[in-house]
């Protein structure tokens, strides 16, 4: 256990951050899963826009890196585009 006042505070802060980060990562993963489980293009498109917003918020809050967010958004966009009726 930490003995310094600053170390004790740091532990307390990191525990709060851990809970906060877990919450937003879980939210992001669920949004991505909703896009991947979409049956048709319209549903996927709607879920895609919600997921984009959540991924951007997660990156702006510092939970994930901005490049990680960009990669996730790119992969999702590619997936939704494959569902497009114009390509079939």
**Mean pLDDT in runs of 10 for the chain (88 residues)?**
88 95 97 94 95 97 96 96 80
Q: What's the pLDDT at 73?
A: 97
- Residue 31: predicted pLDDT: 97
Domain ranges of the chain: 5-87
Of 78, 67, 69, 68, the closest CA to residue 36 belongs to 78
pLDDT at 5: 92
Domain 5-87 part of CATH 1.20.58.110: yes
Q: Give the length of the chain.
A: 88
Is residue 50 within 8 A of residue 29, CB to CB? The reply is: no
Q: What is the pTM of this model?
A: 0.84
């Amino acid at each position: 256990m930490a003995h310094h006042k600053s170390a004790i505070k740091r532990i307390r802060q990191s525990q709060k951050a851990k809970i906060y980060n877990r919450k937003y990562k879980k939210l992001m993963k669920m949004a991505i899963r909703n896009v991947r489980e979409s049956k048709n293009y319209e549903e996927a498109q709607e879920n895609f826009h919600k997921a984009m917003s959540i991924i951007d918020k997660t990156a702006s809050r510092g939970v994930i890196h901005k490049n990680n967010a960009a990669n996730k958004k790119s992969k999702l966009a590619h997936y939704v585009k494959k569902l497009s009726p114009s390509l079939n």
